[in-house]
Chains A and B, each alone.
Chain A
Amino acid sequence: MKHPPEEDLILYYYGELVDESELGTHVAGCSACREELLSLEGLLKRVGAQPVPERGPDYGREVWSRLEAHLPRPRRQASTAWWLVAAALLLAATFLAGRLSTRWNDASPMPGASLRERILLVALGDHLERSERLLLELANGGSAGAGNERAMATDLVRTTRLYRQTARQLGDGGAANTLEELERVLLDASHEPETEEGRLSLKERIEELDVLFKLRVLQTNVHHREVQLAARRF
């Protein structure tokens, strides 16, 4: 066999040569080609050893959080009812985002606003309670059908996102962060495979983020606000 061309040595190095045995035999008996192949290997291994900056296990979530706001969303063809619900939720979140922080404002709003705020607080409280129930069920490996849990999680994700986005826009970082973590866990729950391993993984994430505790803190804030408003009536 003639000395193989450089192209064949490159293909041989990458395991892409159709007939490796012929070249292998030649290299074994030809010191010049053996040296050439070793030289090529040495250099390419050096190139391959150069590290890529490490990205942590949460990198995918970081990418998503940066990406989410820029996604071109198609026009929804949802029913009017959906928009009414969304509008109500946004109104609720508008009220709440400024009030869930520790700076409670006792100034009385315009007449009728307290009643409206109470109704909306009840709606948010109900949402948080439903979320807590689902997370508890998931954390305890509950017996409800996985399909039901997924459907409920998907349903809760949308509402949580609305609250979260509004809270963020209005500068209530604490509430927004808790709602963001809740949204992440709910998203995970809506996608987790129906396996024991998937359930365990989800349970670990719920515990790792301590999201149940944070959710209860938020619920407590909502409840306190409800009590405050109720006391004003008397």
Chain B
Amino acid sequence: MKVLAEDVVERARGGDEAAFRAIVETYSRDVFRLAFRITGNEEDAEDAVQETFLRAYQKLKGFESRSSLGTWLYRVTANSAIDVVRRNKRHENRRAPLEEDPPSQAAQEGAVFGSQLRDLLDSSLSGLSELERSAFALRHFQECTLAEVSEALGITVSAAKQALFRAVRKIRKTLAPLSRSTP
């Protein structure tokens, strides 16, 4: 994640709208990436981006640790994305719970080099709980350390580890046939 000059963050905390704009323009793409990984679709991710910065604007005065603005924003993003997912029923409709509706063996085998592969991978992620998905997205896609994941999600490092373990296990379970059918 990019780093802004300290004085910009300070001015934004003091209510300087132009400085807050600099924060928005600097972090929008990172926020979108994380939001997309958590929500799983562009429309929800865009909603989450909007909500993230609205919340950040309201709460920035309470932000004290300048050095971890990025991590703080990740936390706001994860919460916003989770809320958007909860609110939007369209997301629920796309969900295919792992235990109840696993992809067929034939679909898995046929998906190896096709567009279905992406669907299968998406499906494996949508089978995760919100916490698992957020922890996995932060650790796997955003390459945060587990300490940063715990800080961003407001949980202990141990809880972050457990969420990551559960996420990986579920993903492995869904995608295991792929590893047997491909090199």
Contacts and interface: CB of A to CB of B under 8 A. Distances in A.
B18 A191 contact: yes
Given A7-B165, A42-B179, A52 B146 contact: no
A50 B57 contact: no
Contacts, number: 99
Interface string B26-46: 111100110011000010000
B118 interface: yes
Given A10-B165, A16-B145, A46-B178, A71 B29 contact: no
Contact of B164 (A10, A61, A70, A71): A10
B125 A154 contact: no
A14 B139 contact: yes
Contact of A55 (B28, B117, B168): B28
Nearest to A5: B165
Interface in A55-69: 55, 59-64, 66-68
B143 to A, nearest CB: 9
A66 B50 CA distance: 8
Nearest to B143: A14
Contacts of A61: 25
B28 A71 contact: no
A63 B28 contact: yes
A68 B118 CA distance: 35
B24 A191 contact: no
Interface of B: 5, 8, 15, 17-19, 21-22, 24-29, 32-33, 36-37, 42, 49-50, 53-54, 57-58, 117-118, 121-122, 124-125, 139-141, 145-146, 161, 164-165, 168-169, 171-172, 175-176, 178-179, 182
